[in-house]
Chains A and B, each alone.
Chain A
């Protein structure tokens, strides 16, 4: 129930080694202390700072990190109109009835032209209005690539440190970026709408690979049974290596996903994705869904998959931060050389070529790094 369960008042000012001597540090420490103290305004402000990448947000997230690790994180994704918001609303209500506190992050697209966005999911949180223990926050994609998943992961940390028992991330599952976001979750729930396409849609990469639990929402609609049957069939094929369709499971692999595959193979009792039918508007099937989600949680804990997931996730996070920092250093280096346009002009004029330019820019940096290492 109560936020700031662990350390409460032990403010960051007291024990947090001030990460730098800059005069901005006190504002950040104060915010962190207020978040741990359960102040909604401070939590809201911290999430804004995370979204804006305001100066000092990294210090805040670092300080919050050691107060995290208590919340159970659920990702909910699916195509627009599948009923995600309504389902999330009902899930939040159910968890609240169990006496737990809930944080929700709802991600909506932003305009690629103006950066503006209308964030409309809040309207559907009808069951939880006036209940401050459901902290609902809208986030826009802000047209960034990769950056959104970092911001979402950091916002999850803020909610976790605040003391939320359950955190739900809701996002439209249309592209790769969104897939990244749901990786932030321990359990991923994919919503499928009845009649949302032929069986080729189900063969396509993405949707089947990320789901731990599949929800056929609007199960009272025509064609719901067929959709359930198709899903079951696809999942069954995916689970059966004898059918030789297993290669589609983890399509284009990077190192992080390789780790995932390794666990999957090593696990004696792999998780068999479940298909649940719901009618979110009426609440039908929500209880069964909650039970299925709990079963997945138990599986995660019993098999050690949860710990492995956390490690994989933090490894990915470290890599992502390093890439962003390295990119910044490179931008500075480019600016120092008069900007990338001048270099591009020289390439256009055939004075040089992109490979040579890249080698020239990176060489001094590489040299520095090598010297430091030795």
Chain B
């Protein structure tokens, strides 16, 4: 890495597994892809409570929070995370992505709630990375 590159802000991401579902292959794949894209990725590990995700997102000062949910519990878990981020003034400059199995109706609801994008199965990795690069929030 050259000196110029170091002066650029590195995009930091938290890849979070919330709730009971025990499959994190997708989370691993996206972590790896983000790493290869030059991002710094913090992986939460399985079975996290919304509070724990909020704590990690705030302390790590991440630009991107990617929530991976396959269990269908997104309607209860995601709002809790968003409320937690708001409590710490972290909601506005965190780009929130949801990945996993999300029915179309719920998708709209998540977007209204403040999620920036929902990526279903089969989304090309480049699309996700591109989306992050283009939409990551400016920081003071």
Query: Which residues of A pack against B, CB within 8 Å?
Result: 27, 40-41, 44-45, 47-48, 51-54, 110-112, 114-120, 122-123, 129-130, 132, 135-138, 140, 142-144, 147, 331
Cα of A47 to Cα of B89 in the assembled complex, Å: 16
Pairwise interchain contact A114-B36, C-beta atoms closer than 8 A: yes
Pairwise interchain contact B58-A111, C-beta atoms closer than 8 A: no
Contact flag A142-B43 (CB < 8 Å), given A52-B10, A114-B35, A129-B52:
no
Q: Is B61 an interface residue (CB 8 A)?
A: yes
Pairwise interchain contact A130-B55, C-beta atoms closer than 8 A: yes
Contact flag A116-B59 (CB < 8 Å), given A40-B88, A51-B10, A142-B1:
no
Pairwise interchain contact A40-B37, C-beta atoms closer than 8 A: no
Q: Is B21 an interface residue (CB 8 A)?
A: no
Q: Is B39 an interface residue (CB 8 A)?
A: yes
Q: With contacts defined as CB atoms under 8 Å apart, how many contacts are there between chain A and chain B in the complex?
A: 100
Interface residue SS majority, chain B: mixed
Contact flag A135-B41 (CB < 8 Å), given A41-B89, A117-B35, A118-B32:
no
Contact flag A44-B59 (CB < 8 Å), given A118-B31, A130-B51:
yes
Pairwise interchain contact B40-A110, C-beta atoms closer than 8 A: yes
Pairwise interchain contact B6-A120, C-beta atoms closer than 8 A: no
Cα of A202 to Cα of B41 in the assembled complex, Å: 34
Residue A130 contacts which of B37, B44, B49 (CB distance < 8 angstroms)? Answer: B49
Note all chain A residues with C-beta closer than 8 A to B44. Answer: 122-123
Contacting A at CB under 8 A, from B45-67, are: 45, 48-49, 51-52, 55-56, 58-61
Cα of A144 to Cα of B35 in the assembled complex, Å: 17
Contact flag A48-B43 (CB < 8 Å), given A27-B140, A129-B52:
no
Closest partner residue, chain A, to B35 (CB atom): A116
Q: Is B22 an interface residue (CB 8 A)?
A: no
Cα of A118 to Cα of B33 in the assembled complex, Å: 10
Expressed in whole angstroms, the minimum distance between the Cβ of A327 and any Cβ of chain B is: 9
Beyond the given pairs A110-B40, A130-B49, 7 more chain A to chain B contacts, judged by CB atoms under 8 angstroms and listed by A's residue number, are A40-B59, A115-B1, A116-B41, A118-B42, A122-B43, A122-B45, A138-B42
Cα of A110 to Cα of B60 in the assembled complex, Å: 16
Note all chain A residues with C-beta closer than 8 A to B40. Answer: 110, 116-117, 119, 138, 140
Closest partner residue, chain B, to A123 (CB atom): B45
> Which 3 pairs across A and B sit closest by C-beta, in order of nearness?
A123-B45, A44-B61, A116-B35
Pairwise interchain contact B61-A47, C-beta atoms closer than 8 A: yes
Pairwise interchain contact B6-A144, C-beta atoms closer than 8 A: yes
Closest partner residue, chain A, to B31 (CB atom): A118
Expressed in whole angstroms, the minimum distance between the Cβ of B1 and any Cβ of chain A is: 4
Pairwise interchain contact A112-B1, C-beta atoms closer than 8 A: yes
Note all chain B residues with C-beta closer than 8 A to A47. Answer: 61
Interface residue SS majority, chain A: mixed
Pairwise interchain contact B1-A135, C-beta atoms closer than 8 A: no
Q: Is B77 an interface residue (CB 8 A)?
A: no
Pairwise interchain contact A119-B42, C-beta atoms closer than 8 A: yes
Expressed in whole angstroms, the minimum distance between the Cβ of B66 and any Cβ of chain A is: 13
Pairwise interchain contact A116-B37, C-beta atoms closer than 8 A: yes
Most central of B31, B40, B139 by chain A CB within 10 Å: B40
Contact flag A116-B38 (CB < 8 Å), given A44-B60, A44-B61, A132-B55:
yes
Contacting A at CB under 8 A, from B1-42, are: 1, 3, 5-7, 9-10, 12, 31-32, 34-42
Note all chain B residues with C-beta closer than 8 A to A111. Answer: 35-36, 38
Q: Is B90 an interface residue (CB 8 A)?
A: yes
Closest partner residue, chain A, to B9 (CB atom): A52
Closest partner residue, chain A, to B61 (CB atom): A44
Note all chain A residues with C-beta closer than 8 A to B88. Answer: 40-41
Pairwise interchain contact A122-B31, C-beta atoms closer than 8 A: no
Cα of A45 to Cα of B89 in the assembled complex, Å: 11
Query: Could you list 13 examples of A-B contacts with CB < 8 Å?
Result: A41-B58, A52-B7, A115-B38, A118-B32, A118-B43, A119-B41, A120-B42, A122-B44, A136-B59, A137-B59, A137-B60, A140-B10, A331-B3
Expressed in whole angstroms, the minimum distance between the Cβ of A263 and any Cβ of chain B is: 35
Pairwise interchain contact A114-B38, C-beta atoms closer than 8 A: yes
Pairwise interchain contact B43-A115, C-beta atoms closer than 8 A: no
Expressed in whole angstroms, the minimum distance between the Cβ of A233 and any Cβ of chain B is: 39
Residue A122 contacts which of B3, B36, B56, B139 (CB distance < 8 angstroms)? Answer: B56
Contacting A at CB under 8 A, from B100-130, are: none
Pairwise interchain contact B61-A117, C-beta atoms closer than 8 A: no
